[in-house]
Amino acid sequence: MKKLLLLSAVILFCTSCAKSDPISKLPELYSGDITCIATVQALSRPACDYTVAFSRSGDMDTVELLAPESIAGIKATVEQGSAGISYEGKYLETLLPYYWGASPVDALSAIFDSMAAGAPQWQNTQGDSVTCEYRIYSDNADIRQRVELDKETLALKSAQVELDGALIMLIELQSVQLYAN
């Protein structure tokens, strides 16, 4: 009888821990509409800093480049594996880099897709932040997305994108708004 009670207590404890895991809420939070402003530091050669306004509404992602000034105003619509760019009323379908999520234009789309898809490969809570890692394997490439979230709100604070072990992008979010479906 004692063993049965002990087993019941362990199961109850484990079930309550699983329910209180805030990371389990990420797919629900990040599967709706999203808007954010982010600074993206592309570590390519030459390195360049961008400021982007990102918006996800339904199945459509839109990115507008706000900085640098020389390309401010360029907008892109993003779908996995392709994008279209519009500027001054003209629209051009274009190709992104070969790997999904490896450019400043599609990085946020890929990160939000990963967060909406399910549990991260690993997570770590430290202070007021939770760090999670997601991986995309595509055409013999290993893309690693490491995201830092606010522990209380689960709002994305920053992200790093690696391609085959090399850091290629740093992303700092200035604002994030999530809209539930």
How far is the C-alpha of 131 from the C-alpha of 122, rounded, in Å? 8
Residues paired with residue 147 on neighbouring β-strands, in sequence order: 132, 159
Q: How far apart are CA 9 and CA 51, in angstroms?
A: 51
| Cα separation, 173 vs 93, whole angstroms | 27
Q: Which amino acid is at 78?
A: V
The answer to whether residue 29 sits within a structural domain is yes
DSSP 8-state class, residue 120: -
Is 148 part of any domain? yes
Percent of the chain surpassing pLDDT 90: 58
Residue 14 lies in a domain: no
- Asked if residue 75 has pLDDT above 50, the reply is yes
Q: Chain-wide mean pLDDT for the chain?
A: 83
Average pLDDT over residues 74-93: 70
- Average the pLDDT over 47-68 and give the result: 92
140 lies in which domain range?
22-179
Tell me how far apart the alpha carbons of residues 85 and 167 are, in angstroms, rounded to a whole number.
26
Write the single-letter amino acid at 126. Q
* pLDDT at residue number 56: 96
**pLDDT category of residue 22 using cuts at 50, 70 and 90:** confident
**Spatial separation of the C-alpha atoms in residues 170 and 45, rounded to whole Å:** 14
72-101 mean pLDDT: 71
Assess if residue 99 is contained within a domain: yes
What number of other Cβ atoms are within 10 A of residue 17's Cβ?
A: 9
- Decide if 4 is inside a domain: no
The domain tally of the chain equals 1
Q: What is the mean pLDDT of residues 48-67?
A: 93
pTM: 0.83
In a domain, 171, yes or no: yes
* pLDDT band for position 140 (cuts 50, 70, 90): confident
Confidence of residue 1 (pLDDT cuts 50, 70, 90): very low
**CATH number of domain containing 169:** 2.50.20.10
Is residue 120 in a domain?
A: yes
Confidence band of 152 (pLDDT split at 50, 70, 90)? very high
Q: DSSP labels for 59-81?
A: TEEEEEEEESGGGTT-EEEEETT
Q: Quick check: 100 and 86 in contact, CB under 8 A?
A: no
pLDDT band per the 50, 70, 90 thresholds, residue 129 = very high
